[in-house]
Structure 1
Amino acid sequence: MAKLVETFPCVPSTERGRGILISGDPKSDTILYCNGRSVLIRSLQRPQDVEVYGEHGYAATVARYSPNGEWIASADVSGTVRVWGTHNGFVLKNEFRVLAGRIDDLQWSSDCLRIVASGDGKGKSLVRAFAWDSGNTMGDFDGHSRRVLSCAFKPTRPFRIATCGEDFLVNFYDGPPFKFHSSHREHSNFVNCIRYAPDGSKFITVSSDKKGMIYDGKTGDKIGELASEDGHKGSIYAVNWSPDSKRVLTVSADKSAKIWEISEDGTAGSVIKTLTFTESGGAEDMLVGCLWQNNHLITVSLGGTMSLFSADDMDKPPLLLSGHIKNVTSLAVLGGNQKTILSCSYDGLIVKWLQGVGYSCKLQMKDNTKIKRLAAIESNILLTGFDNKVWRMPLTDNGFGAADHVDIGNQPLDISIAVDTPEYTTLVSFESGVVLLNGLSILSKIDLGFVVAASVISPDGKEAIVGGQDGKIHMYSVSEENSLKEEAVLEKHRGAVTVIRYSPDFTMFASGDANREAVVWDRETKQVKLNNMLFHTARINSLAWSPNNKMVATGSVDTNVIVYEVDKPASSRITVRHAHLGGVNAVAFVDECTVASSGEDASVRMWHIEPQ
């Protein structure tokens, strides 16, 4: 039996030069955001409490609760809107193809009967309002010639809809059925976001021209604008109103967030607070999304970091929630009183997590070096990527030290550390052979004469096992001169060997292949100890041993994690189904009964395993 005990979730997908949308539950401190095909439901009170909706067939772009909190409408890049509930699991109410292209924004009417969506499409089909239960269209939305980035439903009667987009226009529609009323061109660049005040009296637009405009909520007439004094120095990507309709929160490419007091008649808005951030100085600190959720002020940076400020005490340092945006390719676990989990993603981001706590800190590799594998020992991290380099950096109490590297001349495939050697001898494999390293010094580079797919070095550094693209496993002894002598060739796999790992006590090793099979071997006799491990339906990407040598976990492209007990038949396995949407890339044991996994959904999860 396997039980999910903790999730280190991904952060919202971001895009440079575009605002992104996060939204909140009107009745709680729960927020919604999108990453890939996933819609994440996350508690602000308990950030580790996460639910993931993964039923979209394409990348999701926006999700919103209905005003009564009963339903969620989410949209994707194909122009599809799904309406679903969260009671007793996820229940799909309806699915509609709304636009011919990407949906950038959607909003509910206050009576929960209608939804308006805007985005990209063909011809005039850039905005559409429809009945949430039948999908029937409610009016015509002429007036835009380019992508409509944002839309807003007046939250009080009489209903109105306002839209804005890449044609620099702000359009106003009355209804229902909705029809064009008026158009405004006060902005001189993309109009990125439009939002109605909760009381319906006014709405506001913000733009890449660094300006914000205020309009009458009933007539659509422009009545004021945000003051330029103390204003933003870069594109404003998002805006959100306070619950009392008196203030707004804006975020900008200038890496700042500002609170504005809006006059009662809406003719002016002045800055009353600029929120400060600890900046690294890079583009990832640009702010692209925001939400005023009850007593929380939330900002989202281009790097995905969500900063939670208190609306009552804005000088209080924010709580930072961060993580991966892209697929997590590798995991490593460091012991100690509090287990540390390290994860790295394809885009060159390394994140440090603490078991029971969650996000600790992160490091973005320079030039977005693409990371493929990560290995860690005590306070050192070794990384391999797609740039022919092996990176090494110290892990400090406060984060990560300065990285150094060695170029091995070939793209690394796998990395393994001999943990019991004085200088931590490291084996790095590449397509035609292996490299032995001492620290970042190359001891030897050996061509093996076959296409290499996976490798591992023994804890004492005296043995290496290399798996081939042809399914054969080659066992070598490592001489004092750092050369390899072939001792045995094992043939059992019928596909490329994708991963090999020694058991902690060094008496066994396990291997997995691209043909979905795993095998446990006796190291001394070189005989199969546990076979028929053929329960995945696709390539095995990763494999890990429990610290007590009794269990082996495998992760696969089929989205599942399977845990086998070495002393029991493979048929008595424990399967974690749909562990990660899109596939599992890495597994690692945190302790005897806890497995960490990561995958294409950019999240890390911890599973409690109870042997049967």
Structure 2
Amino acid sequence: MAELVETYACVPSTERGRGILISGDPKSNAILYTNGRSVIIRHLDRPLQASIYADHAYPTTIARFSPNGEWIASADVSGTVRIWGVHNDHVLKNEFRVLSGRIDDLQWSPDGLRIVASGDGKGKSFVRAFMWDSGSNVGEFDGHSRRVLSCAFKPTRPFRIVTCGEDFLVNFYEGPPFKFKLSQREHSNFVNCVRFSPDGTKFITVSSDKKGILYDGKTAEKIGELSMEDGHKGSIYAVSWSPDSKQVLTVSADKTAKIWEISEDGNGKVRKTLSCPGSGGVDDMLVGCLWQNDHLVTVSLGGMITLFSASDPDKAPVAFSGHMKSVSALAVLSQSSQKSILSSSYDGLIVRWIQGVGYSGKLERKDSSQIKSFAAVEEELVTYAFDNKVRRIPLQGDQCGDVETIDIGTQPKDLNLTLHSPELALISTDTGVVMLRGSKVVSTINLGYAVTASAIAPDGSEAIVGGQDGKLHIYSISGDTLTEESVLEKHRGALTVIRYSPDASMFASGDVNREAVVWDRVSREVKLKNMLYHTARINCLAWSPDNSMVATGSLDTCVIIYEIGKPPSNRITIKGAHLGGVYGLAFCDERIIVSSGEDACVRVWRVTPQ
């Protein structure tokens, strides 16, 4: 069996020039945010535990806990809202098509019976309120002419709904059933977020015009605004009230968060400006915030989640981050007692994780090229990208040394280092292989067939090259030349991955036709066959350090672990390991395996042989 030990969750999807609206459940200290088709539940006091809901058919945009904390309503770009359980495998309660376009915000009524959603739609339908159990409408929402970016339910009776959006308007509705009451036009740019105070006496709107305006909760009359003195210098993207309704937290494109004291008459003055960690680049713009119990949560454009203490804002904040895009490669570095895991995503970000601790920082690279894949040894990272270049990067703690860039003249397909002398690297291309020693290309060999995968023995004496035709070609390496020794035929589709076992006595191969094979290196006979349990192409493969297990990861979202010497029917299957497919696998030790995938998450599993 395999049990999930840790999840290094993805960060919220962000978009330049737009805020994101995160939410939480004060009772459990959990927060909700979205990335791709996933809704992520993170516990602020247990960051290595994350629960992910992945049943939306389209990219998700917003999610909220019901008032009792038992249900979650989540919405996506197609205008669909799904309501599902927090516990019991996230059982689906209801699904409704609410708007004809993207939903940007939604809120539950305080009694948990109704939901209001706002966003983009056809005609004038930018807002809809409905019963959570039947989906029936509870009002008409006229008055907006453009996308409605945010909506809020008054948390006390009599119920009211307020909305705001790209037409610079703030609209107020009475009900239920809800109908238009009045419109306020105090802002001169997009109104990005509206929130009622928990006691229901006021609501606040924040805008790209750098202003925050406060209104009476019952009548929607303007009562005050956030002082421009010491105010934000950029668009304000989000706002969140303190539990006692006396303060608000705002975040802005000016890269700061501010805590404001709200007076009885409805004006706000800055109590504290919070500076979040970062280098001051565009990625450090703040786009989301949440005041939850004693946690002040901010989210940056680059996905950094920072937690400040509300009771002691001077205390050093805790920051954690991760990937926003598909994680395509993994490596495990055993430094002293701590296992360090490196993961790289499609957008070129390399993150270091420490087993048992989690996020440990991003590797600062001098060039920001996209990374297709990488190989790593203790002191060095070798990467290849979509630009025909291989880069050798020395590792110096959380920094990368001076990069050596090698142009191999064609698109790399696979990359392998010899573990005993890592200066020797084998790179496969469409038509052959390139051998590197250090940063020098020592040979470029056209093999005369379409190459799809490759491997090099740990001592550099042998290479295996896989073809489009499913054949494995074994070459001996002498100096900088390859000599073909034999051709192995077993696969019925193009090879996708080949890896030697750590002791080099075996090698394993996987193909697009979902089959994996383990071979004996000396006899070149099949050692483990009929490994045909995936339902789609095999993307990655890893050996345990003691050579006793081999794991495969597939486009079918599963990881399968086989024990050498036991029939494949004894396999251990991790179903749904990564939504969208598994793209990275590595063993930390004999029983711990790390996986990564399309869902931008990295997961650590403990394997117990059957």
- Give the TM-score taking structure 1 as reference length: 0.98
Counterpart of 2:598 in structure 1 is: 600
Native 8 Å contact 1:26 1:67 kept in 2: no
Tell me the secondary structure at the aligned position of residue 412 of structure 1.
coil
5+ long unaligned stretches in structure 2: none
Cα offsets for 1:11-63 (capped at 9, x unmatched): 11111111112111131211111111111111111111111111111111111
Counterpart of 1:39 in structure 2 is: 39
Counterpart of 2:311 in structure 1 is: 312
Please state if 1:99 is matched with 2:103. no
Instruction: Report how far residue 400 of structure 1 moved.
Output: 3.5
Tell me the secondary structure at the aligned position of residue 89 of structure 1.
helix
Instruction: Report how far residue 369 of structure 1 moved.
Output: 2.0
Native 8 Å contact 1:162 1:194 kept in 2: yes
Q: Write the letter of the residue equivalent to 2:552.
A: T
Native 8 Å contact 2:255 2:280 kept in 1: no
Give me the whole-angstrom Cα distance separating, in 1, the residues matched to 2:153 and 2:211: 22
Native 8 Å contact 1:169 1:184 kept in 2: yes
Give me the whole-angstrom Cα distance separating, in 2, the residues matched to 1:400 and 1:305: 20
Native 8 Å contact 2:154 2:200 kept in 1: yes
Counterpart of 1:333 in structure 2 is: 332
Counterpart of 1:570 in structure 2 is: 568
Q: After the TM superposition, which of the residue ranges 397-406 and 319-328 deviates more from structure 2?
A: 397-406
Give me the whole-angstrom Cα distance separating, in 2, the residues matched to 1:225 and 1:447: 70
Q: List aligned pairs for 1:479-498, cutoff 5 A.
A: 479-480=478-479, 482-498=480-496
Counterpart of 1:213 in structure 2 is: 213
Please state if 1:517 is matched with 2:529. no
Q: Write the letter of the residue equivalent to 1:598.
A: S
Instruction: Report how far residue 364 of structure 1 moved.
Output: 6.3
Tell me the secondary structure at the aligned position of residue 48 of structure 2.
coil
User: What value does the CA root-mean-square deviation take over the aligned residues?
Assistant: 1.2
Q: Write the letter of the residue equivalent to 1:108.
A: W
Native 8 Å contact 1:150 1:163 kept in 2: yes
Counterpart of 1:79 in structure 2 is: 79
Counterpart of 2:344 in structure 1 is: 344
Instruction: Report how far residue 598 of structure 1 moved.
Output: 0.5
Counterpart of 1:323 in structure 2 is: 322
Q: Write the letter of the residue equivalent to 2:276.
A: F
Tell me the secondary structure at the aligned position of residue 455 of structure 2.
strand
Instruction: Report how far residue 469 of structure 1 moved.
Output: 1.2
Q: After the TM superposition, which of the residue ranges 358-367 and 76-85 deviates more from structure 2?
A: 358-367
Native 8 Å contact 1:413 1:453 kept in 2: yes
Please state if 1:444 is matched with 2:452. no
Q: Write the letter of the residue equivalent to 1:246.
A: K
Tell me the secondary structure at the aligned position of residue 89 of structure 2.
coil
Tell me the secondary structure at the aligned position of residue 600 of structure 2.
coil
Instruction: Report how far residue 525 of structure 1 moved.
Output: 1.2
Counterpart of 2:458 in structure 1 is: 459
Q: Write the letter of the residue equivalent to 2:322.
A: G
Instruction: Report how far residue 402 of structure 1 moved.
Output: 4.2
Instruction: Report how far residue 365 of structure 1 moved.
Output: 5.3
Tell me the secondary structure at the aligned position of residue 548 of structure 1.
coil
Counterpart of 2:201 in structure 1 is: 201
Give me the whole-angstrom Cα distance separating, in 1, the residues matched to 2:292 and 2:439: 49
Q: Write the letter of the residue equivalent to 1:56.
A: H
Instruction: Report how far residue 537 of structure 1 moved.
Output: 0.4
Cα offsets for 1:96-146 (capped at 9, x unmatched): 111111110000111111110000111111100111111110110011111
Instruction: Report how far residue 348 of structure 1 moved.
Output: 0.8
Instruction: Report how far residue 367 of structure 1 moved.
Output: 6.7
Q: Write the letter of the residue equivalent to 1:459.
A: P
Give me the whole-angstrom Cα distance separating, in 1, the residues matched to 2:402 and 2:15: 28
Counterpart of 1:273 in structure 2 is: 272
Tell me the secondary structure at the aligned position of residue 339 of structure 1.
strand
Counterpart of 1:60 in structure 2 is: 60
Counterpart of 1:384 in structure 2 is: 384
Give the direction of change, closer, same or farther, for the CA distance of 1:146–1:368 in structure 2 (3 Å limit): farther
Counterpart of 1:550 in structure 2 is: 548
Native 8 Å contact 2:365 2:399 kept in 1: no
- The runs of at least 4 consecutive aligned structure 1 residues that moved more than 3 Å come to 363-368, 398-404
Q: Write the letter of the residue equivalent to 1:190.
A: F
Counterpart of 1:252 in structure 2 is: 252
Give me the whole-angstrom Cα distance separating, in 2, the residues matched to 1:402 and 1:193: 44
Percent identical among aligned pairs is 69
Give me the whole-angstrom Cα distance separating, in 1, the residues matched to 2:258 and 2:347: 30
Give me the whole-angstrom Cα distance separating, in 1, the residues matched to 2:265 and 2:589: 61
Tell me the secondary structure at the aligned position of residue 578 of structure 1.
coil
Cα offsets for 1:574-601 (capped at 9, x unmatched): 1011111111111111110111111111
Give me the whole-angstrom Cα distance separating, in 1, the residues matched to 2:279 and 2:339: 27
Q: After the TM superposition, which of the residue ranges 189-198 and 368-377 deviates more from structure 2?
A: 368-377
Native 8 Å contact 1:203 1:215 kept in 2: yes
Q: Write the letter of the residue equivalent to 1:533.
A: M
Native 8 Å contact 1:225 1:269 kept in 2: yes
Q: List aligned pairs for 1:163-178, cutoff 5 A.
A: 163-178=163-178
Q: Write the letter of the residue equivalent to 1:310.
A: S
Please state if 1:579 is matched with 2:577. yes
Give me the whole-angstrom Cα distance separating, in 2, the residues matched to 1:394 and 1:606: 26
Tell me the secondary structure at the aligned position of residue 456 of structure 1.
strand
Give me the whole-angstrom Cα distance separating, in 1, the residues matched to 2:143 and 2:40: 34
Native 8 Å contact 1:26 1:68 kept in 2: no
Instruction: Report how far residue 306 of structure 1 moved.
Output: 0.1
Instruction: Report how far residue 256 of structure 1 moved.
Output: 0.9
Q: Write the letter of the residue equivalent to 1:161.
A: I
Tell me the secondary structure at the aligned position of residue 245 of structure 1.
coil
Give me the whole-angstrom Cα distance separating, in 2, the residues matched to 1:254 and 1:546: 48
Q: Write the letter of the residue equivalent to 1:176.
A: P
Give me the whole-angstrom Cα distance separating, in 2, the residues matched to 1:400 and 1:227: 44
Counterpart of 2:69 in structure 1 is: 69
Counterpart of 2:353 in structure 1 is: 353
Instruction: Report how far residue 277 of structure 1 moved.
Output: 2.3
Tell me the secondary structure at the aligned position of residue 93 of structure 1.
strand
Counterpart of 2:537 in structure 1 is: 539
Counterpart of 1:134 in structure 2 is: 134
Cα offsets for 1:503-556 (capped at 9, x unmatched): 000111000000000000111111111110000000000000000001100000
Q: After the TM superposition, which of the residue ranges 88-97 and 198-207 deviates more from structure 2?
A: 88-97
Counterpart of 1:611 in structure 2 is: 609
Give me the whole-angstrom Cα distance separating, in 2, the residues matched to 1:403 and 1:491: 40
Native 8 Å contact 1:104 1:118 kept in 2: yes
5+ long unaligned stretches in structure 1: none
Counterpart of 1:396 in structure 2 is: 396
Q: Write the letter of the residue equivalent to 1:489.
A: V
Counterpart of 1:475 in structure 2 is: 474
Please state if 1:88 is matched with 2:49. no
Instruction: Report how far residue 272 of structure 1 moved.
Output: 1.2
Instruction: Report how far residue 167 of structure 1 moved.
Output: 1.0
Cα offsets for 1:176-214 (capped at 9, x unmatched): 111111112211111111111111111111111111111
Cα offsets for 1:461-509 (capped at 9, x unmatched): 12111111111111111121x1211111111111110000000001110
Q: After the TM superposition, which of the residue ranges 512-521 and 270-279 deviates more from structure 2?
A: 270-279
Give me the whole-angstrom Cα distance separating, in 1, the residues matched to 2:154 and 2:367: 44
Please state if 1:112 is matched with 2:118. no
Q: Write the letter of the residue equivalent to 1:544.
A: A
Cα offsets for 1:375-419 (capped at 9, x unmatched): 110121111111111122222334444433222111111111111
Number of equivalent positions = 609
Please state if 1:227 is matched with 2:232. no
Native 8 Å contact 2:514 2:534 kept in 1: yes
Q: Write the letter of the residue equivalent to 1:550.
A: S
Counterpart of 1:151 in structure 2 is: 151
Give me the whole-angstrom Cα distance separating, in 1, the residues matched to 2:49 and 2:97: 31
Native 8 Å contact 1:348 1:364 kept in 2: no
Give me the whole-angstrom Cα distance separating, in 1, the residues matched to 2:404 and 2:165: 45
Give the direction of change, closer, same or farther, for the CA distance of 1:312–1:588 in structure 2 (3 Å limit): same
Native 8 Å contact 2:69 2:86 kept in 1: no
Native 8 Å contact 1:348 1:365 kept in 2: no
Give the direction of change, closer, same or farther, for the CA distance of 1:554–1:440 in structure 2 (3 Å limit): same
Native 8 Å contact 2:85 2:91 kept in 1: yes
